[in-house]
Structure 1
């Protein structure tokens, strides 16, 4: 697939960068290392990076902040990088956040920093026999970022539990495969590979639907989670937040400014996304996503708790949060987290 060499370069550069950054050890305040993934769901970080908003808000506090950013794929890679101390801010789904919150409770105390916004995630299939998830067979292969870990995988498990019962919540894990969104999109768009479905995010799902007449939506995340939801979030350790208060404030202020700018400038935001990501995606497709009433760029997490309750019920996390505010930091923008 055409995307593979690029992904290989990203992996090599990303891992090399993480090793170099991790080797720095303890640091004085004024540095932040961020890891993102693929898609429009990371547009807040794209804007903050391109417009140097973190640096801007750092200077307002008398602080020069050195910002590093690397692209990884999948919640497992994100969580490993955060726990190893190679990054300070991880960008991944609510599922990986909950896994790490549970695992580090009373230790590193990883919690959510902010949402990246509300985005509908679609499970797209090219198999004409598949109308709902009940129709998937042993020969189907569902691509998603990380099997049993990514938010797409957890949403699919929640939908499966409602169809077949909670004892069968992982029924579709056996036909799921871990694949970065760009590679999975190439497979669905062109056809002819073992990949017959992809649980994606914008703009990959829209690309697939536009490119392949056989592609159709089988499942929508908003339907499973009960409405608009913040599937992708940012999270960090309690230590980073406590020891870097000015850097942390500059980061969240930058995110808030980026959200306001995107809302006020959808055309410019579209051009920024295409330029920063060196993307050849159809401009109108990207603009339609950014302007969609189903998409909201905002920091306050929404509709995440249903997934937390489910993960506790099936034993994916041992500790049950009382509310979403248990696994998000006590910041003003998280006051309405649910």
Structure 2
């Protein structure tokens, strides 16, 4: 029968063992920590992109059809797998970006500015990669009594992708402020109805629903205006005093930092596609119809793309007017001094606004 060791000796042995274990754990922890720190947040070569509806997304259609992102990735020495998804409304896009479900978001400048303001200085800070070009948004109506927004009544309903916060909602709010005076920006908010552009167009043309107006975009506004019952109430260019890039592509600063080659491949492809659409509107129209599986005549889409009011550029235009207005009504806290405050450095050499 063995003799138990004295309590003091047992204590020393346990302490010594404890010190040795802790020392080994510390070394292991340091090694694991160094290994984790050396890894990027996500491996290069995977890109998840969200887009919405309209011909302003034609550069994305061209990128997809021609495999431009993959081509530019190979030029940089990486194979890129691209996943395209379709969402409706800036709120859904922003939620997907914050949840880490997409890498490149695309939405109106209003929803973007809301997210930029919310994430400034945080790990999820977002900035604009590029704009989808300048293009007007029309307020349309099938109510013959509505000549200006002052003619809208409680019986009217105005469709837009997301009531209250979409780029269309902000356009209507600014128009209301101009028409009814300071402090009246949200006077017509109660008339807004959330509806995707295709559904809103069908409702406006078909009639028989509560929808009597639609703050639209191309090609839906052009399609609706072919119907004699539909007329234009105003253009966003009237409200902002000139061309505006209403929709932008954006990403988190962290994604750009962690995936520099994937990001550059996307940016280079986006720029190439934008230039290509400008120079090849007929072919671009055919690609739009093919990718969208649209029933529209390619000649009609080419006419939309060739509208002299449309400018093909990645550089934001008129966006500071959006930001100033949103700051004035309390929608965002920060008031950017320049478009460079909310865009990546790649655009800073250009003359944006």
Q: Is the contact made by 1:325 and 1:335 (CA closer than 8 Å) also made in structure 2? A: no
Partners of 1:84 and 1:104 lie apart in 2 by 13
Partner of 1:336: 351
1:66 and 2:62 equivalent? no
Q: Is the contact made by 1:230 and 1:301 (CA closer than 8 Å) also made in structure 2? A: yes
Partner of 1:189: 205
Query: Runs of at least 4 residues of structure 1 off by over 6 A?
Result: none
* Runs of 5+ unmatched residues, structure 2: 1-39
1:173 and 2:189 equivalent? yes
Q: Structure 1 residue 330: deviation in Å?
A: 1.5
Partners of 1:166 and 1:236 lie apart in 2 by 34
After TM superposition, the score normalised by the length of structure 1 is 0.90
Q: Is the contact made by 2:42 and 2:258 (CA closer than 8 Å) also made in structure 1? A: no
After TM superposition, the score normalised by the length of structure 2 is 0.87
- From 202, 215, 220, give the equivalent of 2:235: 220
1:246 and 2:257 equivalent? no
Q: Is the contact made by 1:114 and 1:300 (CA closer than 8 Å) also made in structure 2? A: yes
Q: Is the contact made by 1:143 and 1:178 (CA closer than 8 Å) also made in structure 2? A: yes
Q: Structure 1 residue 306: deviation in Å?
A: 0.5
1:76 and 2:91 equivalent? yes
Q: Deviations over 1:3-51 (max 9, x none)?
A: xxxxxxxxxxxxxxxxxxxxxx952011110000011011111100110
Q: Deviations over 1:188-207 (max 9, x none)?
A: 11111110000010000011
SS at match of 1:118: coil
Partners of 1:113 and 1:267 lie apart in 2 by 26
SS at match of 1:183: helix
Counting matched residue pairs gives 313
Partner of 1:156: 172
* Runs of 5+ unmatched residues, structure 1: 1-24
SS at match of 2:183: helix
Q: Structure 1 residue 287: deviation in Å?
A: 1.0
Partners of 1:332 and 1:213 lie apart in 2 by 42
Q: Structure 1 residue 303: deviation in Å?
A: 1.0
Q: Is the contact made by 2:245 and 2:316 (CA closer than 8 Å) also made in structure 1? A: yes
Partners of 1:305 and 1:136 lie apart in 2 by 28
Q: Structure 1 residue 296: deviation in Å?
A: 1.7
Higher alpha-carbon Rg: 2
Q: Which deviates further from its counterpart, 278-287 or 313-322? A: 278-287
- From 293, 300, 315, give the equivalent of 1:278: 293
Q: Structure 1 residue 265: deviation in Å?
A: 1.2
1:57 and 2:72 equivalent? yes
